[in-house]
Structure 1
Amino acid sequence: MLTIYTSAPWLMSDAREEPFKHLDDIIVWTEELGCAGMLIFSDNISFDPWLIAGRVLEKSRDLVPLVAVNPIYQHPMSVAKSINSIAAGSGRRIGVNLVAGGFSRHLREMGCNLDHSQRYDRLAEFGTIIAELTSGEQPLKYSGEYYQLNGLRPAPPPIAGLEPRIFVSGTSESCIRVQRELGATRLSYPREPREYAEESLPADSGFRLGIIAREDSSTAWRLAHERFPVDRLGEEFHDLAYESVESHWHRRLSEDAMKVSAPVGSYWMYPFRAYKTFCPYIVGSYAETAGLLLRYMQLGASTFILDEASSKDDLFHSVQVLRLAWSKFTENRS
């Protein structure tokens, strides 16, 4: 099944005037266009993601907040308590996106000295405990390297049918291992399709990307260049950030972007290269963009998380072209 999420604006702690206005707009557009929910980021400088999740629940009827959770910020019991409390209090479901890393500076600020593999080991324990506390009512005993629980009882107890869908983000072997252990959906950022060769993605994989699609290619590219003009200062910021990032996916995409930032067909890395967003963009006519998205679906992707929408019109076309590609994908399978 095709599942589409949008992305919440990255609300920073220095926001002053109407920080929720654009968020509220995207919430309305997301629900009106029949998407499943909204991804909410988490880092050292952004608003608390659970505050944003509450806003999504308040302003929508059915959207699922997909909240990024990182062991450096919360104990798994705290995450489970939030999920169960929301389920019990509102009858709504929460998704969780398990994140292990981030910018090196942010990890140092939090006093995290674990290496990449250790952070994913901790993330596996973190995710296991969250899954247990949001699906069963029995006291949990758990003995791991990072967490020890001695008969912890979930409070409030979970609500059957409202267990969270669990995602894990990354592309490294450590991430793939954790995704398999947890039975989670793995989220990543797509490379140009030819980079995957004959590789198949895990079943129910997800990609985060931006889409600018219109009926004709020239209109789509004009809009793309208006939204993301050449920005040399942004490129310099990107190159500086590249040196301080721990994430494998970020480094790999950065290397791709610095090597070839010009479009490869409909696949465009320049918005990432200019430090305007953290994902590739798919740009072109409906036929061109649907054709490229179809290749990702053939690799195994069925969940797509769209970059922050600049307008309802942009989001409308993005959703339409994803559904067009999925229609072609299901036709080819039948």
Structure 2
Amino acid sequence: MTGGVQIYSTCPQSKDVPAGEYAQAVAEVARWSEAAGCTGMLVYTDNGIADPWLVAQHAIAATERLAPLVAVQPVYMHPFTAASMVSSLGYLHGRAVHLNMLAGGFRNDLLALGDPTEHDDRYARTTEYTQVLMALLRGETVTHEGRWHQVHNLRLAPALPAELMPEVLISGSSPAGRAAAEALGAVPIRYPEPLGRETGEAPDGGGVRVGIVAREDTADAWKVAEERFPTDRRGQIAHSMAMRASDSSWHAQLSEAAKAQDVVDDGSGEPDPFWLGPFQNYQTFCPYLVGSYDRVAAAIAHYAAQGTRVFVLDIPPSAEELDHIGEVFRRAGVVPR
């Protein structure tokens, strides 16, 4: 068996679920994810959805061990406030909260907040922000005179027990992102490259963001995938507009991968499992692997052999779908830890 990996699911977004049903949807996906053996569940943040810390609190209350992976946007709050959220949730529930540190987001969201900071400077800001945040969580009295943040003899209470220290993830799609991950000792998360066309830049011990649809039969898997993510002209227009407005490296890389995608013949007789249909139709923001259990398992095993140790999955539509994904990881010989 391959060495242990961490698997995160993703929480539904409030914009996609009616208000009266959203709390139940968060709780259900959190429980499904815990039952499936996931380490945690990514909780998104942006200007148009419910606050991730409140959503994380709800997920914690609905489960016994699942760790919310909270997306943290430095523009939204002081690093002391973020550290206090982590320590307070730990104090109240005895549970870890993991951190997905953001440098960007939707460009128009940042401009609406009066933040025109350029791409690489945003990563420098996130690095400094996270250094202050983590020092506080380690129980240090922090004095910091930085470009972005200045604090003097700052100390956090309640203290966070060492066993509840968060895992830290950050986008590693750009050189600035990879440099930030190295400076922080964080897990760099990127989008997997199409099989057979890797650049060799995948960092050992890093992670990938990927969706999975798999069944015993290839045709069944593709039928499910295409029904879940049908071609949508309005979505394609929204995708095109987002590409023009974004300075995100991962947006650009996935768009180039879509243009260059061709069929990879690995001798299995199945289509290339790497699918960008949902991304191109603005239905989700990651590539998918689609095919038979064995075909998709071979792809997961390939990424694991490259050094991938964290897999962040897309929003699961059902507990049964997580069972299918679990079968893929079992056949890949990849053990959750």
Q: TM-score range by the shorter chain?
A: over 0.9
Residue 49 of structure 2 is aligned to residue 46 of structure 1: yes
Aligned with 1:156 (options 142, 146, 158): 158
Cα distance, 1:240 vs structure 2: 1.1
1:272 aligned partner: 279
Which residue in the other structure is 2:84 paired with?
81
Contact 1:268 1:283 in 2 (8 A): yes
Task: Give the one of 119, 129, 143 matched to 2:122.
Answer: 119
The match for 1:321 is 328
Distance 1:8 1:73 in 2: 20
More off after superposition, 171-180 vs 245-254: 245-254
Give the alignment of 1:306-317 within 5 angstroms: 306-317=313-324
More off after superposition, 314-323 vs 98-107: 314-323
Q: Distance in 2 between matches of 1:27 and 1:311?
A: 11
Give the Cα separation in 1 of the matches to 2:207 and 2:309. Answer: 6
1:195 positional shift: 2.9
**RMSD of aligned alpha carbons:** 1.8
The yes-or-no answer on 1:180 pairing with 2:170 is no
Change (3 A) 1:98 1:235: same
Q: Report the alpha carbon displacement of residue 13 of structure 1 after superposing the two structures with TM.
A: 9.3
CA distance in 2, matches of 1:97, 1:217: 34
1:62–1:92: 8 Å Cα contact kept in structure 2?
yes
Q: Distance in 1 between matches of 2:17 and 2:30?
A: 22
One-letter amino acid of the structure 2 residue matched with residue 280 of structure 1: P
Change (3 A) 1:14 1:6: closer
Amino acid at match of 1:124: T
Q: CA deviation at 1:16?
A: 3.1
1:249-285 superposed Cα distances (whole Å, 9 cap, x missing partner): 1122123224549896111011110111111110011
1:220 alignment partner AA: A
- The code of the aligned residue for 2:215 comes to R
Q: Which residue identity lines up with residue 119 of structure 1 in the other structure?
A: R
Q: Which residue of 2 aligns with 1:63?
A: 66
Could you state the TM-score of these two structures normalised by the residue count of structure 2? 0.92
- What does residue 211 of structure 2 align with? 210
Please name the residue that 1:171 is paired with: 173
The SS at the match of 2:210 is strand
In structure 2, C-alpha distance between the alignment counterparts of 1:193 and 1:172, rounded to whole Å: 20
User: 1: CA distance between counterparts of 2:259 and 2:7?
Assistant: 29
Asked whether the 8 Å contact 1:200–1:300 carries over to 2, the reply is no
Q: Quick one: distance in 2 between partners of 1:200 and 1:240?
A: 28
Q: Tell me, what secondary structure is at the counterpart of 1:282?
A: strand
CA distance in 2, matches of 1:119, 1:60: 34
> Distance between the aligned counterparts of 1:14 and 1:60, measured in 2?
20
Give, in angstroms, the shift of residue 15 of structure 1: 4.2
1:250–1:51 CA distance, 2 compared to 1 (3 A): same
User: Aligned partners of 1:121 and 1:195: how far apart in 2?
Assistant: 30
Moved more, 49-58 or 319-328: 319-328
Tell me the percent identity.
36
| C-alpha distance in structure 1 between counterparts of 2:165 and 2:45, whole Å | 21
- Tell me the residue number matched to 1:300: 307
Aligned AA (1:161)? E
Deviation per residue, 1:172-193 (Å, 9 max, x gap): 1001111000000111221213
Q: Aligned partners of 1:313 and 1:220: how far apart in 2? A: 14
Q: Is the 8 A contact 1:289 1:321 kept in 2?
A: yes
Looking at structure 2, the residues matched to 26 and 148 of structure 1 have their Cα atoms a distance apart, in angstroms, of: 39
Count of residues in correspondence between the two structures = 326
Letter of the 1:19 partner, please give it.
Answer: Y
Q: Which residue of 1 is the match for residue 22 of structure 2?
A: 19
Cα distance in 2 for partners of 1:104, 1:63 equals 31
1:128 aligned to 116, 128, 131, which one? 131
Corresponding letter in the other structure for 1:305: V
Preserved CA contact (<8 Å) 2:192 2:208? yes
Amino acid at match of 2:25: H
Query: How far apart in 1 are the matches of 2:24 and 2:88?
Result: 26
